[in-house]
Amino acid sequence: MSTMRRETIPRAPAPESPTSADEQTLYEPSSDESDEYGTEEDDHDLLESEDERERLLTGSKGKGKAVAGLFNRKDGKETGTYSDEQKTKAKRRRNRAKRRGQSSEESTLMYEMEEGISLSSDSLVSSSDGDEKRLEGMNIQSKTQKRRVWRRVLIYLSVIGLFLILLFAAYRVSKSRHTASAATLVSNGTSLFAPTTILISLDGFRADFLYRGLTPTLNKFIEEGISPKYMLPSFPSVTFPNHYTMATGLYPEAHGVVGNTFWDPDIQKEFYYTDPTRSLQASWWGGEPLWQTAERQNVRVAVHMWPGSEVHNPDIQPAYVDKYNGSEVLSRKVERIMSWLDLPGPEDMGFNMDQPRPQLIAAYVPNVDGDGHKYGPNSTEIRQTIKDADTMLGGILEGLQMRNLTDIVNVVVVSDHGMATTDTSRLIQLEDLVDPTEIEHIDGWPHYGLRPKKASDVERLHKQIIDKTQNMTNVEVYLRDKDMPERYHFSQNERIAPLWIIPKAGWAIVDKSSGNVEEMKKKGEVYHPRGVHGYDHEHPLMRAIFVARGPAFPHKPNSRVEPFQNIHLYNIICDSISVSPAPNNGTLRLPLKPVGLHTDSNTPANETPSDPPLSSSTPLPSPSASTSASPTQSTPAAATQSGEAHHMSWWQALAHKAQHMEEWVDQFLKTHMPGAKGKDKGEAEGEENGKEESG
């Protein structure tokens, strides 16, 4: 009889004394689990004593009813059955294992081994099926968790990738902008300059002033740059509307400054150009001027006395604004412009945000207009004023050359209108055309915009004036809303009076408070001002100038373009400093398109227009007086003044002859005795302060 070998199963460590934190977590159920399944201590009640353990292993009977042994051997095989209580406990352990995240088969077997559960073939099959299901579930759960992890990883990587792409794109854009900006910077040897333009306006500088042999600097500037034979002003050809048209690219009817003086029926106020309390209110000025366009795009601007620049805009202001000073000497203007160019730029050492170097400098020069009004455009005095303006330009160009900026800074020289000589014989009495007591407001000058006290009287007064001027060739009469010439672009604004009397060039309308025309003629009184503008903007005497040179004008020297109107200047200046213009009436853009050179054989001859005849009964000047002349041949003063001699006293005629002789002597000395300086009657007055301001 073979001796049955007793197998000894190692005692599992008691759950009450876990050896590690992990084991403690493994064996300690939650309160919910304890309530549902019982505690670990309950699970081990059958193992409380060695005898009980032995009984379970051998299948021996104890105090109670017999219990089948778990590991009894029969024919070398282990036999046994689960008790209901054991099955329940095993199921609880498996459930707890799942709830606690146990995923290995070893954990389940360990619990079964602790209880000494026999592994019969049936139970093994059942256990295997359960294990397979558990493993399948665990695999699914593992795959789901992995998918979640990978999904999170992909989301994080996508976010990081997108961030890097945006960061790289921003870097490229920033780099490209910096590169583009750097590409436009040009060094003069000591500093870097962004696109920079100096815009000079010579108020009242008539186009044919260039042909009088008085402007060597301007004539050389034309030879080096690009220009038309003339530039047309806008109607009405007076200072404030035209300077603001050049600054905005808008017709006066569009920007709202329709004259030097006018009435606004909406606000019941009058605009008067020399009265800052009435003219510097922002509500008068529409459109967007150059200084606002540039500053809005972070291009700094300096404005020296340009009409309209002193209007305060709380949102956008130029970096520098100089108030109007009609007595400022021209040399001071040169110093002011050069001082701005000498400031450090953003890329230079010592740059100061509070004192930036401007890229646009717009300067206004009133001298030629002032002396043109005072003495007339063909006077001896105006000759010196023209020379002074030319000398001032020479100072600017010399300053640029000294700073090695000739090929770096653009220079554009313009004027706003021309000038016509007036005379007492070319006066029209207002009272001969209309009763002033019927008129509430008179706008403009020398053109007259009439606002009747009663709006219903407009048609009647229009017919009355037409009847009284039907035999006169020296005035035009228009209704704003009916027959105002379209080329004037002077009807689409309520600030434009409904009824207009527009004299021809050289003529003027006066009321009796200013003078009795018949009495003035009888007494031989001289009418002042001696020069007037404001007429038809296409008349030859109203022609202005445009000359440009610099990197924004890469044309052959002495290039010629077709004449254009000053509404196009705004776009040209914007393009020269690389800013985008606001909407405007101009269409011309850089680069300009030359039609040839000024020296070409098909270039129109220099034209020096003559003044109108002294009166309607005076014969027209001889053809020789009005034909074109070269700069060395033009003597417009002599031609025009000879016509006036018929109405002068012998003393006046002698005085004029003396002036002409002086001019001849001066020219003779300069031609035949280099270095000699003739005595010009106007030289002593050229630098005097307090020049008369006029529109």
**Average pLDDT of the residues in 245-252:** 98
Yes or no: is domain 424-528 CATH 3.30.1360.180?
Answer: yes
Q: Is the pLDDT of residue 73 over 80?
A: no
How far is Cα 615 from Cα 620, in angstroms, rounded to an integer?
A: 9
Residues of the chain with CATH 3.30.1360.180: 424-528
For 364-410, how does the pLDDT look when each residue is reduced to its tens digit (9 = 90+)? 999 999 999 999 999 999 999 999 999 999 999 999 999 999 999 99
Least confident span in 56-60, 150-154, 398-402: 56-60
Q: Is the pLDDT of residue 193 over 90?
A: yes
- Retrieve residue 655's tokens: 């005085």
Asked about 239 being catalytic, the answer comes back as: yes
Catalytic residue among 108, 197, 215, 239: 239
How far is Cα 492 from Cα 256, in angstroms, rounded to an integer?
A: 10
How many secondary structure helices (H) and strands (E) does the chain include? 21, 25
- Containing 243, the helix (H) or strand (E) segment is helix 239-248
The pLDDT of residue 695: 65
220 contacts: CB under 8 Å, gap ≥ 6: none
Tell me phi and psi for residue 662, to 5 degrees.
Answer: -60, -45
For 492-546, how does the pLDDT look when each residue is reduced to its tens digit (9 = 90+)? 999 999 999 999 999 999 999 989 999 999 999 999 999 999 999 999 999 999 9
Judged on CB neighbours under 10 Å (0-12, 13-18, 19+), 413 is buried
The pLDDT of residue 666: 55
Q: Is the pTM of this model over 0.85?
A: no
Tell me phi and psi for residue 316, to 5 degrees.
Answer: -130, 120
Q: Calculate ∠ Cα 151-153-154, nearest 5°.
A: 65
Residues of the chain with CATH 3.40.720.10: 196-422+535-542+553-603+612-685
283 contacts: CB under 8 Å, gap ≥ 6: 267
Angle between helices 216-224 and 380-402 (to 10 degrees): 50
The pLDDT of residue 89: 73
Tell me phi and psi for residue 411, to 5 degrees.
Answer: -125, 125
The pLDDT of residue 166: 84
Cis amide linkage into residue 503, ω under 30° from 0: no
Topology annotation, domain 196-422+535-542+553-603+612-685: Alkaline Phosphatase, subunit A (3.40.720)
Judged on CB neighbours under 10 Å (0-12, 13-18, 19+), 672 is exposed
- Containing 369, the helix (H) or strand (E) segment is helix 367-375
Q: Is the pLDDT of residue 657 over 50?
A: no
